[in-house]
């Protein structure tokens, strides 16, 4: 390829069947910068729960939506139109900058319910995406209908986010819910007619898997810092060892549950389900990060055991239900529904009696229940795979 092509390439749809398509170094940098915002949201959720502020859960859900949605839109666009030339890289840099601005504004959301900085960072990221979609519309006539609808839809909704800052209290929350639905509707409307954007199933599967790994890694790092701090303050104890060991088993089992089946083949076959598959990962990512928050609280040892147990149990249950849905969506029959339901009930029951059972034992029991579900799920997946050959 000529040197000129490295600086400026025509933005046309990439081949969805391209072999050996993998994440680029720029995409990996994008993910690592975004996990800064994930860590900021998790840290503020930690402080909110520790201080008894239940509204922190709602604030976390709202902030995490902004992080996840900006990441998701970049990921699918890059899968279809990544030119990796100078204009593309610069607009990606602008999105990274917006993500860091968003991360800087997270504490204001939790402390003062002030979304101004978060909104500025989010809108910067989304306006950069409007520029990418407009470029694709100009240079890829075959997909112009969808790309123009994306650009217009994203642009209009960003105006709504700016105007939402003028709404007080409950009206602002209602505005958030309306704009939340509007954001989710844009891809559905944009892809409804004409040629679909040419995203790559294998690439999308890898991108989602890598971000799941990065968020899991952030959980491990946060929990490790919590354990280290606890050892410094109180010394090593049997309870801390059980808590740390249980937390590690829990996160490892969550990793295994997510990656126990290959999703690429299912994404190729069931394209009508792709939006549901992609949207469901909001719960996956947010739940994983929240489990890390709960494990950090457990290491702190300063919050009531029942509160901490539920801070681990609830996102764990959300994760289990959603990951089971994702696998069932792409590989029918791979989810042991009865075992899943029983596991969720037992996890919540364990959290309810954590005050009497003790937090270390509660964490260990929750981890053991998830590990058992993993074993049963692997066996069910093998039977389903035999019944539904590729």
What is the domain partition of the chain in residue ranges?
23-190, 201-387
Which pair of tokens denotes residue 323?
Answer: 């990951």
pLDDT of 348 > 80? The answer is yes
Mean pLDDT (whole number) for 113-132: 96
pLDDT of 311 > 50? The answer is yes
Q: Which residue has the higher pLDDT, 134 or 143?
A: 134
Q: How far apart are CA 142 and CA 159, in angstroms?
A: 28
In percent, the amount of the chain with pLDDT more than 90 equals 68
pLDDT of 365 > 90? The answer is yes
Which pair of tokens denotes residue 369?
Answer: 């229940």
Range of lowest pLDDT (62-66, 265-269, 386-390): 386-390
Do the beta carbons of residue 319 and residue 293 sit within 8 Å? Answer: no
Largest distance between two CA atoms of the chain = 70
Closest by CA to 334, choosing from 296, 368, 274, 376, is: 376
Do the beta carbons of residue 113 and residue 119 sit within 8 Å? Answer: no
> Within a 13 Å sphere around the CA of 60, how many CA atoms are in the beta-carbon half?
28
Neighbouring residues of 217: CB distance < 8 A, sequence distance ≥ 6: none
What are the two backbone dihedrals, phi and then psi, of residue 17, each rounded to the nearest 5 degrees? -100, 10
Q: Residue 271 has what DSSP assignment? A: G
Which pair of tokens denotes residue 336?
Answer: 């042991």
Residue with tokens 């989710």: 184
pLDDT attached to residue 328: 80
Q: Residue 13 has what DSSP assignment? A: P
Angle of helix 201-234 relative to helix 55-81, nearest 10 degrees? Answer: 140
pLDDT of 1 > 50? The answer is no
Q: How far apart are CA 7 and CA 327, in angstroms?
A: 41
Give the pTM.
0.91
pLDDT attached to residue 272: 62
Residue with tokens 């029983």: 342
The predicted-structure confidence for 164-219, as pLDDT tens digits, reads as follows 999 988 899 999 999 999 999 999 899 887 778 888 888 998 999 999 999 999 99
Range of lowest pLDDT (62-66, 241-245, 260-264, 367-371): 260-264
Mean pLDDT (whole number) for 292-320: 94
pLDDT grade, residue 2 (50/70/90)? very low
Which pair of tokens denotes residue 309?
Answer: 């147990």
Give the 3-state DSSP-derived string for 3-71, with helices as H, strands as E and coil as C. Answer: HHHHHCCCCCCCCCCCCCCCCCHHHHHHHHHHHHHHHHHHHHHHHHHHCCCCHHHHHHHHHHHHHHHHH
> Within a 13 Å sphere around the CA of 95, how many CA atoms are in the beta-carbon half?
33
SS3 assignment, position 304: coil
């Amino acid at each position: 390829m000529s040197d000129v092509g490295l600086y400026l390439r025509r933005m046309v749809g990439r081949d969805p069947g391209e072999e050996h398509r993998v994440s680029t170094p720029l995409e990996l940098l994008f993910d690592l910068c975004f996990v800064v915002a994930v860590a900021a949201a998790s840290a503020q959720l930690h402080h909110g729960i520790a201080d008894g502020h239940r509204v922190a859960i709602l604030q976390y859900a709202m902030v995490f939506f902004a992080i996840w949605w900006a990441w998701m839109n970049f990921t699918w666009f890059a899968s279809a139109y990544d030119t990796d030339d100078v204009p593309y890289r610069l607009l990606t840099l602008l999105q990274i900058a917006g993500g860091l601005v968003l991360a800087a504004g997270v504490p204001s959301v939790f402390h003062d319910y002030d979304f101004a900085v978060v909104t500025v960072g989010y809108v910067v990221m989304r306006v950069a995406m409007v520029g990418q979609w407009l470029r694709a519309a100009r240079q890829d006539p075959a997909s112009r209908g969808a790309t123009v609808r994306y650009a217009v839809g994203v642009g209009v909704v960003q105006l709504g986010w700016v105007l939402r800052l003028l709404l007080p209290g409950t009206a602002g929350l209602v505005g958030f819910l309306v704009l939340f639905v509007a954001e989710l509707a844009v891809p559905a409307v944009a892809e409804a007619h004409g040629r679909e954007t040419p995203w790559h199933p294998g690439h999308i599967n890898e991108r989602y898997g890598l971000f799941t790994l990065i968020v899991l890694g952030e959980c491990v790092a946060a929990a490790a810092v919590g354990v280290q701090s606890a050892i410094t303050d109180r010394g090593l104890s049997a309870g801390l060892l059980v808590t740390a060991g249980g937390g590690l088993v829990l996160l490892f089992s969550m990793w295994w549950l997510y990656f126990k089946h290959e999703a690429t083949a299912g994404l190729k076959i069931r394209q009508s389900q792709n939006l549901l598959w992609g949207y469901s990962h909001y719960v996956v990512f947010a739940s994983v990060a929240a489990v890390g928050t709960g494990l950090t609280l457990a290491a702190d040892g300063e919050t009531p055991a029942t509160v901490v147990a539920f801070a681990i149990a609830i996102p764990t249950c959300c994760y289990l239900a959603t990951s089971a849905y994702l696998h069932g969506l792409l590989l029918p029959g791979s989810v042991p529904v009865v075992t899943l339901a029983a596991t969720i009930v037992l996890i919540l029951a364990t959290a309810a009696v954590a005050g009497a059972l003790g937090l270390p034992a509660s964490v260990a029991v929750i981890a053991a229940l998830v590990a058992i579900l993993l074993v049963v799920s692997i066996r069910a997946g093998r039977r389903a795979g035999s019944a539904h050959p590729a």
